[in-house]
Structure 1
């Protein structure tokens, strides 16, 4: 099983697919940036800048997933988990209902 997650952070949107059992990154779509959309990568210096920017975005995506997992673990280990589980199930079912239409 896999989990597909879209995460918005500031002006960026990450699309990430993780394996459910191990949280292994299976697919990562990084946000588009000005450097990648311009097509201005003709010289080595601008290409290097684009690569470094993409590496930085990948690191940001990893940090976002780690933070989501940390938040989940805190909620999962809390006394409020049963209430939160009800909310999660309602949210999942509402999404399934929208997809079925």
Structure 2
């Protein structure tokens, strides 16, 4: 694994239409992490969650692999939080909710 003192990031994907666990779709370390985070923030990209313990566990998962079932509950809680934040931002901007009433 890379130097743990360098900044790292892991990106997850979850497809609601499938029954699969979240998948690791991106990993970056060092300057690549900083560039990716900067681009994401400037583009209004996906919300970021900073959790060093979770990052350490997710960084072990290969890209394009599903997360370990033991991480499911923690990742589900984080995804729920991110979706709720996105919904609040959409409503504050006057955009319609993608969720049915």
User: Larger radius of gyration, structure 1 or 2?
Assistant: 1
Q: Normalization by structure 2: what TM-score?
A: 0.32
Instruction: Give 1 or 2: higher strand fraction.
Output: 1
Instruction: Give 1 or 2: higher helix fraction.
Output: 1
